[in-house]
Amino acid sequence: MSQSKTRARDAGRNAQLVRALQIVTELERAGGLSLQELAENFGTSTRTIRRDLEALQSAGFLFEAEQPDQRKLWRLERGGRARKLNRLLDKSHFFALRMAMSLGGPLRPGTSAFTALEDLSDKIETALGREGRDQLKAIDRCFYSYEKHAYKDMSRELLWRIVAAIEQQRVCRVTYRRPQPEAQDKQIDVLPLRIFAHQGAAYLMCQFMKHTTLGTLNLQRVRDFVLTREQARAPDDFDPEKMEGLAFGVHTGTTPVTYRLRFDAGVAAYIRERTWHPTQELRELEHGAVELQFTCGESWEVSSWVASWRQHVEVLEPETLRIELRQLGAALLERYR
């Protein structure tokens, strides 16, 4: 078969699919329509509409026919698969798809993955009708996400290689360079486990095969990423939520440390309104102050976050953080004397 005939056949099937979905939506909206009304609404013949209805029936979408005033009306049968289709075409699902496309920096227009999502999006949009499309566009204009910046400079090929490695449980050889000026490229064998974004950067949670330990890699520092033929399983004790609990951001640290921080009344409202760590506990103090306690691995991320509150916070525990901040204060005093 020639390519032109193949394209024409595919276009016809796509048009029939869209029309069939629209028929289900119309019957749901109107409660019942005749063949003549359906043919008029879709600008086609009653014979074509009848074929569409028969195709939908054979696919499991049930219909009931009524004959008021000698006119046969078609409507959806209660309890049929149409309810599932309506859930599939729910506006929230469509919106989630559009948000995924807008946030997915590596999915640039022109790639096969982006084209497939656009095609699916257009079909759902068409089935929802003009009113649904206008509502979705209005909602879409109300949202913005900073997380998309974490992926804007990432190679599309790198992203899809990582996805394939996670799906196939493949060990990968990563060429990685740490941010220090004197650092050199280093090859590391890892088993990729999860991708996540934090503070404008994309990270890979993985198992380091040499030491069988879990850790993270900043994907902006990856120079090369090669899938090997070796397969491996994640450690039996691998628990993403547990790792989240050990970290205050990206780094999980080693030994868990309990932090007790006293925030004065000037910033207490900001501390109350957020979940800063999954293990946190809040205790109200006198004069509007609040005490925040959480347990995680010791890391510079905690130190820098505490220091960002400046004179509004006092570290009660651990003593090591009190010493670190005292040394920081002395260094700042010396620099800005």
**Confidence band for 175, pLDDT divided at 50, 70 and 90:** very high
149 domain-assigned: no
Are residues 208 and 254 located together in one domain of the fold? no
95 domain-assigned: yes
Write down which residue in 72, 87, 102 finishes a domain.
87
Are residues 7 and 67 located together in one domain of the fold? yes
* Beta bridge mates, 262: 291, 314
Are residues 96 and 140 located together in one domain of the fold? yes
> pLDDT by residue (tens digit) across 240-298?
777 766 777 777 766 789 999 999 999 999 999 988 988 899 999 999 999 999 998 88
48 domain-assigned: yes
**Confidence band for 106, pLDDT divided at 50, 70 and 90:** very low
Rounded to an integer, what distance in angstroms lies between the CA atom of residue 71 and that of residue 36? 10
8 domain-assigned: yes
CA-based nearest residue to 62, from 49, 73, 78: 78
- Which CATH number covers residue 75? 1.10.10.10
Are residues 73 and 97 located together in one domain of the fold? no
Q: What are phi and psi of 276, to 5 degrees?
A: -85, -25
DSSP per-residue letters across 43-110 = TS-HHHHHHHHHHHHHTT--EEEE-GGG--EEEEPTTSTHHHHHHHT-HHHHHHHHHHHHH-TT--TT
Are residues 77 and 93 located together in one domain of the fold? no
Are residues 56 and 95 located together in one domain of the fold? no
- Does the pTM exceed 0.85? no
Structure tokens at 3: 């390519």
**Confidence band for 176, pLDDT divided at 50, 70 and 90:** very high
139 domain-assigned: yes
- Side-by-side strand order, sheet with 201-208: 213-218, 201-208, 186-198, 170-176, 222-231
- Measured in residues, the chain has a length of 337
Rounded to an integer, what distance in angstroms lies between the CA atom of residue 34 and that of residue 40? 10
**Helix, coil or strand: residue 226:** strand
Q: What is the DSSP-derived secondary structure letter of residue 116?
A: H
- Which CATH number covers residue 174? 2.30.30.520
The domain of 64 spans 3-87
Average pLDDT over residues 139-160: 66
Write down which residue in 235, 269, 304 finishes a domain.
235
Rounded to an integer, what distance in angstroms lies between the CA atom of residue 256 and that of residue 297? 4
* Centroid of chain to Cα 242: 20
Work out how many domains the chain is built from and give that number.
4
**Residue 18 has what pLDDT?**
76
Half-sphere exposure of 41 (CA within 13 A, CB side): 17
Residues above pLDDT 70, as percent of the chain: 67
Are residues 19 and 47 located together in one domain of the fold? yes
Are residues 169 and 202 located together in one domain of the fold? yes
**Helix, coil or strand: residue 318:** coil
Are residues 184 and 224 located together in one domain of the fold? yes
150 domain-assigned: no
Write down which residue in 40, 70, 87 finishes a domain.
87
